[in-house]
Amino acid sequence: MGANTAENTNLRLKAVLDILAEGVWSGTTLNAGEVLAEAIVRVPFNDHEAELLSGGIPRGHKTLTSASAKLVKAGWLVKGRSGWTIPEDGLRATVAFPDASVFGSALDAGTPVPADVPVPTAPPAKPQAKKAAASKRAVSKKAAEPKVAAVKAAPAAKKATTRKAPAKTKTAAAVETVPQPGAVAIAGDFNKILGAPEDWAPQYDEAQMEFNPLVQVWTLTAELPAGFYTYKIALNRSWDENYGAFGARDGANHELNHDGGPVTITYSHVTRDIVIG
């Protein structure tokens, strides 16, 4: 099980770089929590990894968060105040080590990306997949030719079945809910600015976020003067359960270098992380 977990972690680390690279190419910006969540979607937890630790975080999530430090050490990932970004060496690594096992070995051994590997500017082409798809279409066409009558006999039934399946999936995803805490607060050094009697105090109403059940996130919008602020997410009006940078329980403070004006902070209890907007 340990070996399988190690292999899965390497697969997710590669997925982290792939996701960040895709964001560069598409112009999409994701915060650290969203990147980790997408990596877990692409490489789901096994039973051992899905076990919840004392903080309520799956074992695999904690392992992945810790292992991401290897990407930073390799120079393939930059963790900054505004989120995670992929430098040129990270982009080149997605091309130089496309196979997950080779990627993991290179990461563990500290193998540098070969100097002759260019920086990719678009997702790698997959000609073999295209040929395979074309081949399948040709086979399907030939197989269908002697059975024209049979194919024409039931086109409506097949189309109806095909259309209904994705519709059910979308409906299920839209109403899917996640167990939520009773209250979520932003406790930091700007609580007094929000009107609370003191800073770093999750018990006050002024620090509480508002839950949006439609998208399953908590938000707080405030007008803050220009400055550098630090804070954490605290649940149920106490410090018993709190989350810091990158969704780590009892982790380092979140940091906000603000130019002044309105700021919206969004918290997802799925990733235990925040999004600044």
Domain ranges (residues) in the chain: 2-109, 184-276
Give the pLDDT confidence of 139-184 residue by residue, as tens digits. 444 444 444 333 344 444 444 444 444 444 443 344 367 899 999 9
Give the pLDDT confidence of 208-234 residue by residue, as tens digits. 999 988 888 999 999 999 999 999 999
User: Of 24-28, 55-59, 201-205, which range is least confident?
Assistant: 55-59
pLDDT of the residue at 126: 55
- Six-digit token string for 241: 């359960």
Task: Report how far apart, in Å, the C-alpha atoms of 181 and of each of 193, 235, 275 are.
Answer: 25, 7, 18
* Integer Cα distance of 209 and 232 in angstroms: 12
Identify the CATH homologous superfamily for domain 184-276: Immunoglobulins (2.60.40.10)
* Integer Cα distance of 194 and 184 in angstroms: 15
* Integer Cα distance of 71 and 19 in angstroms: 14
Report whether 262 contacts 223 (CB < 8 A): yes
pLDDT of the residue at 121: 87
Q: Which residues are paired to 242 by β-bridges?
A: 234
pLDDT of the residue at 101: 86
State the DSSP H helix or E strand holding residue 167, giving kind and residue range, or none if neither.
helix 155-175
- Can you state the angle between helices 88-96 and 100-109, rounded to 10 degrees? 130
Of all residues in the chain, what percent carry a pLDDT higher than 70? 77
What's the mean pLDDT in 73-102? 88
What's the mean pLDDT in 229-240? 94
User: Of 88-92, 172-176, 192-196, which range is least confident?
Assistant: 172-176
* Integer Cα distance of 82 and 259 in angstroms: 13
